[in-house]
Amino acid sequence: MTSSNMTARKRLASALVATIFSVSTVAGLGVLLHKLSADSNGTLVATKEAGTITLDGKVYPKASLTMGVYADKEQAAADGFTGNKNDWVQYGPSNHLILPANTYITMTIHGYDGGEELNNPYFGKVVGTVGGTVNIDGEDITSLPYNKIQHTWTLHGIPSSSQDPLFVSVPLLRVEEDEETGWVPTEDPITNFKGHTITFSFLTKGAGNYVWNCEFPCGDNTYAKFGAAMSGYGYMSGKVTVTA
Amino acid sequence: MSEHDSVDLKPTPGDRLANFYKRSDVIQSTIFGVIVTGIFVILGGKFYTKWMPTVMSTDMKAIERLMVVFTWIAAPVCGVVLGVALYTFLNRHSGDTQPPDGPATRTNGPIVLLWSVVTSLLALTAVIYGITELNSSSIASAKNAEDAMVVNVTGSQWVWTFEYPKLGVSSHVLMLPLNHPVTFHINSVDVNHSFWPVQLGVKVDANKLAETIAETTPNKLGEFDVKCAELCGLYHAYMETTGEVMTVDDFNSWVVAQGGHSA
Amino acid sequence: MTTLDQHVGTRPIPNPKKSLITKLNAGTGLIVGIIFALLTYRGLSTVLDISIYELNNRVLLATMFMWSIGFLAGIGAFIGPIRWLIGEDLTAEEQLYLAGDGQGIKRYFKYCTDHKVVGIQYLWGVIVLLAVGGAMAMMIRTDLANPGGHFITPSVYNSLVGLHGITMIIALIIVATGPFGNYIMPIMIGAADMAFPRLNALSWWVLFTAIPVLCSAWFLGGIPTGWTAYAPLSVQAGPGMNAFIAAIIIFAISTAVSGANITATVITMRAKGMTWNRVPIFVVGATLSVAMAIPAFPTFMLAMIMTAMDRSFLTGFFDANVGGTGWLYAHLFWIMGHPEVYVILLPGVAILMEIVPVFVRKPLFSYTSAIVGFAGIVGLSFLVWAHHMYMTGWMPMLNGPFMVTTEMISVPTGLIFLVILGTLWNGKPWLKVPMLAVYAFLWNMLVGGITGLYLSDVPADMYLHGSMYVTAHFHYTLMGAALTGAVAGLSYWYPKMTGHMLHERASYISFWLVQIGFQVLYLGMFIAGAEGQPRRVVDYAEQFATSNKISTMGAYTIGIGFIVLLWAVIHSWRHGKIAPMNPWGAKTLEWTVPYPVPLVNFDTPPVVTSDPYGYGRSAK
């Protein structure tokens, strides 16, 4: 331990270098976290469609998008979606949806999973769609029993002075194990690839940031079945950006 | 700083005590203390009323009043602490050598006693005021319980839902009639949540299989926020919705529009 | 117990090359620890199917505990106990070797029993934890700078919040009693070492093993629960939760060991003549703090064991479906949690009380009030836990009584203010950095205390509970008061611990950056809380944007301030001005020993004839 023979200039330089180094280390960590948080499956942009639709005297342009919900990774892969890491139940092809503002959105979800019971029976209701209905394999319905559901697609957001409230919740009819084909959704996903086609429409309002998630408890073997896929961001949850 | 001259005169303790009001250290600290107290009294009136959201129930009014009153109770404490601190700070010793020794005061019985009694009294005031408020809100809810409208509030990860059992309606937004007492029966279907209709001044946890109850009477028309105040996992931040206090007529037509039967 | 003659007149270890004890260090600890962990993981995962939730939890927990045990075995922590088992003990030579005398920088990486080495180990441990926790705070504030939650995903954010919380809590629990309680306190009371030097080494190295365990949470999917780890959310959480559980259990063992050791040292090893009314106030504060931790932490450990049981063996302590209740967890947690904030606060306050008389050159005002204040806080802190549970619905009838006990704490806290103000009164404070910190403490603790008054009140808490207001409040008390006290202690005792003065200009710059940034940060957060922003949210409504932006600017200022301090600490360690033996002119015993402090601290055991506060003109 020698006493200080450092010049003042050298000392200042060392302090500056140390500060810049530390700040950049922390900033680098931030960039890393930000990178890790990026949507691994990119975004799903709604396709603009020709024509308009008039509802309550207002004219809306049209757009549409299609998603699938799969019992596991293998099933998702069979539908051409391989983005997620864990072998959990998952939505695809992306969890980040981009929708145009003030538009009539038609959404189609192919649901290939089975299911048990809702925690909260409220999510058996169709809420926030045009006409209050959802079309399941050609049939319009307004609600499903709490024990006939595979998943839900529930869109909501933070009430804020800068964006309009938006709430849509749609139950997806489950694939029964004892249907004609004898197909068991979780056991043999590929050879008997069968599911329901669920279609519904809703109106976006102004630009804003929202989230969507599944309200059906499908994080198997966890408390309230809301762990695992339900709590792992990007499987049964995602965000919705409405762009002006 | 020349104000400490009186300190250096080395008067006898009796003189110092008898003429304490003439001492510049006492006078200066007191002036600082009064200014600080004044600032806190004024701020206490302004800070919370400025920043807290619209008051939409008597409970929320009571909370806002309580915040202001507690600031007033605390203001003299701030005055004493910051008054003395400011005075000594300005009376500091500068330089790289130690300051000269101060008076060797080990303790001062009357001051310690006075301090203890005054802080105890202030604490007691706060306790009594708080208990009174708590009591009056319990009495009010007991009184209103009879004719209150029941709303079953369900917290599920990460959406609130509301059911009006007598009206046969359920919703993800919380609509309430004006000036009508309402009793919330709060449950969770999974982890702990905390039901927080912000502008109504109500907050209580939602627990699984252990119903909690809260009561309020909204007294102002308009929209309010409903939030979750207990970390509940992935989308805790997004477990928010809106509510609205509406006239009884509007409320009834909303109920009918939702497919229920109006009260 | 170590006594003087244990260290005197001993010879070097015969055949040092062949002795196992000379070969073990943190490196061998790491190797054995990793081997233990790998073997456990490999072995158990062949027996248990780790794709099943509860079996995976068992395997991970076992792996983490075996890492800790392996590390301790590898560093030689069990040599002494094994000798006892075979009816022997370490030889005097081996004990001297363990004390690390003359081993230079290597002893800091060994199972070293010298309390001064342990103090420095703790100091760097704390610095690393604070740096990591601080970096996480920067990430949190960066995310909250703008509404929209675009910076990181909610799961990353929730993990950051939880890990920032627990990292800082662990850091603050040991921030004063670790470095200063180990390095300075034994010298302060005139002891040659701690009462149980090997336990002292054990407490540090056990704590050390908890750090990689906690870090592993990142790679196991994070923790979504916040540092409170409320059940049943913690039962639902993914495998990262095991890291949290294991780290807390290991940490609780460390605090129990260190608490027992510090308490025993102060009770039995004070210098001749140091009667209870002559004990320096820092020693009183630190001892009461660790003594309070001894009953408090086991409940946290218990809560974690129960969580681990619920997760690994599907018991239902906290599962309402099978008759358990989350309230049980909340009780166990807060019976630890509320004493724990005073475990953090007391040593910080006691450091400042130690500093004030030195820099004002007056005796500590009303030593008795200080003791009564501390004792009152310790006593009441065990009776207030349920004020964290006003809104849980557990038992609204008891809200009133808990409100009374909570608000009563303002009376002993008031005595602490009285002691500091009374000491300042009529003095001319010498505004070096440690003394500046006293003023920062007075303001920060005042704000923290008053906002605590609102929160203790049931109706007001009904609005404020779970909001950003609470976050701002406890940062004022834990960071604004306790951490400020510890940083003051660092610049005060730095000369004794390193032989150099802490770079003065850098400390001033750091002090002002940190304190000003602090006020800006938490003023913004108080406003956000009053406006109604919940805590622990990754995203918020537009109306909170301004207050959050203010907070983020304050946070960055604090970050830069602490980086400057870190530079000063590293720079001055070797290049600082050589410190005189007693740079502040203090009268406590640690300033009577030279640097480097001899192995047994004092050549002749000191005899104390008065308390260390004999400053003042007419002192007799």
B149 touches chain C (CB under 8 A): no
Residue B52 in domain: yes
A137-140: long-range contacts (C-beta < 8 A, 24 or more apart)? Answer: A137/A173, A137/A196, A137/A197, A137/A198
Of B163, B190, B238, which has the smallest distance from its Cβ to A226's Cβ? Answer: B190
Q: Kindly provide the b/e burial profile for residues C190-224, where b requires at least 16 CB atoms within 10 angstroms of the residue's own CB.
A: bbbbbbbbbbbbbbbbbbbbbbbbbebbeebbbbb
Asked whether residue B102 is domain-assigned, the answer is no
B106 within a domain of the structure (yes/no): no
- In chain A, what residues touch B187 (CB-CB under 8 Å)? none
| One domain, residues B126 and B184 | no
| Residue C1 reports pLDDT greater than 80 | no
Cβ atoms of B48 and B64 closer than 8 Å? yes
Query: Residue B224 falls within a domain, yes or no?
Result: yes
Please indicate, yes or no, if residue B104 is contained in any of the structural domains. Answer: no
**C281-312 helix and C240-268 helix, angle to the nearest 10 degrees:** 150
- Using DSSP, state whether B184 is helix, strand or coil: strand
- Domain range for B174 is 149-257
- Confidence at A2, pLDDT banded by 50, 70, 90: very low
**Interatomic CA distance for residues A74 and A71, integer angstroms:** 8
Location of structure tokens 């792996």: C63
What is the pLDDT, as a whole number, of residue B135?
86
CA distance C65 to chain A (A): 24
In a shared domain, residues B22 and B136: yes
The predicted model gives C457-471 an average pLDDT of 94
Do B127 and B156 lie in one domain? The reply is: no
Residues of A in Cβ contact (< 8 Å) with C149:
209
- Taking CA atoms, what residue in A is nearest to C224? A231
Q: Do C391 and B194 count as a contact with CB atoms less than 8 A apart?
A: yes
- Residue A27, SS3? helix
Q: Which residue has the higher pLDDT, C345 or A174?
A: C345
**What would the pLDDT profile of A131-153 be if each residue is shown by its tens digit?**
999 999 888 999 999 988 999 99
Please enumerate residues of B whose Cβ is less than 8 A from a Cβ of A: 154, 156-159, 161, 163, 170, 172-173, 189-191, 208, 225, 233-235, 237-238, 240-242
Which partners does chain B have (≥3 C-beta pairs < 8 Å)? A, C
DSSP character at residue A208: E
Instruction: List, run by run, the mean pLDDT of 10-residue segments along chain B (263 residues).
Output: 43 64 87 94 87 92 91 92 94 86 89 94 90 85 84 95 94 95 95 95 94 93 95 95 95 92 68
Q: Is the pLDDT of residue C189 over 70?
A: yes
Compute the CA torsion angle A219, A221, A225, A231 (nearest 10 deg): -40
Which residues in A lie closer than 8 A to residue C570 (C-beta atoms)?
Answer: 18
Name the CATH topology of C116-592. Cytochrome C Oxidase; Chain A (1.20.210)
pLDDT of residue B262: 66
**Among A159, A215, A237, beta carbon nearest to B241:** A159
Check pLDDT > 50 for residue C323.
yes
Looking at per-residue pLDDT, the higher value among C618 and C428 belongs to C428
Q: Tell me which chain B residues have a C-beta less than 8 angstroms from the C-beta of C454.
A: 66-67, 70
Domain with B234 in it: what CATH number? 2.60.40.420
Cβ contact, residue pair C236, A223, below 8 Å: yes
φ, ψ for residue C314 (rounded to 5)? 55, 35
Distances (CA, A) of A232 to A85, A116, A228, A237, C240: 11, 20, 6, 8, 12
What confidence tier does C149 reach under pLDDT thresholds 50, 70, 90? confident
Q: Which part of chain C is CATH 1.20.210.10?
A: 116-592
Number of domains in chain B: 2
Contacts with B46 from chain C: Cβ below 8 Å: none
CA distance A95 to C51: 25
Whether ipTM > 0.90 holds is yes
pLDDT-based confidence at residue A3 (cuts at 50, 70, 90)? very low
State which residue of chain A sits closest to B161, comparing Cα positions: A122
Same domain, B129 and B211: no
Is B138 in the same domain as B214? no
**Mean pLDDT (chain C, rounded):** 92
Instruction: Read off the amino acid at residue C109.
Output: F
Tell whether the model's pLDDT for residue C11 goes beyond 90.
Answer: no
Q: Does C561 score more than 90 pLDDT?
A: yes
Instruction: For residue C534, list its beta bridge partners.
Output: C467
Distance CA B4, CA B27 (A): 11
**Pair B173, B188 in one domain:** yes
Tens digit of pLDDT for each residue in B51-98? 999 999 988 999 999 999 999 989 999 999 999 999 999 989 888 888
Specify the pTM.
0.93
Q: Report CB contact under 8 Å: A157, B233.
A: no
Q: Is the pLDDT of residue A109 over 60?
A: yes
Check residue C20 and give its pLDDT: 84
- Nearest CA distance, B69 vs chain C (angstrom): 10
**B133 & B252 share domain:** no
Q: Chain C contact for B75, CB < 8 A? A: no
Shared-domain flag, residues B20 and B126: yes
Closest listed residue to residue C551, CA positions, set C145, C140, C146, C165: C145
Mean per-residue pLDDT for A103-128? 92
Question: Which residues from A are below 8 Å from B158, CB to CB?
Answer: 213
Are residues B247 and B221 in contact, defined by beta-carbon separation less than 8 angstroms? yes
- Is residue A193 pLDDT above 80, yes or no? no
Same domain, B120 and B165: no
Name the β-bridge partners of B159. Answer: B156
In a domain? residue B100: no
Cα-to-chain-centroid distance, residue C163: 15
d(CA C334, CA C352): 27
Q: Are residues B56 and B126 in the same domain?
A: yes
- On the question of pLDDT at C548 being above 60, the answer is yes
> Which residue from C156, C232, C499 is facing A33, i.e. has the nearest CB?
C156
**B187 and B242 belong to one structural domain:** yes
Picking from B233, C159, C156, the residue whose alpha carbon sits closest to that of residue A38 is C156
Decide: helix, strand or coil at residue A47: strand
Given C54, C156, C571, which is nearest A37 (Cβ)?
Answer: C156
Average the pLDDT over C351-375 and give the result. 95
Chains that touch C (3 or more CB pairs under 8 A): A, B
Residues B192 and B74 both lie in one domain: no
Q: Is residue B96 part of a domain?
A: no
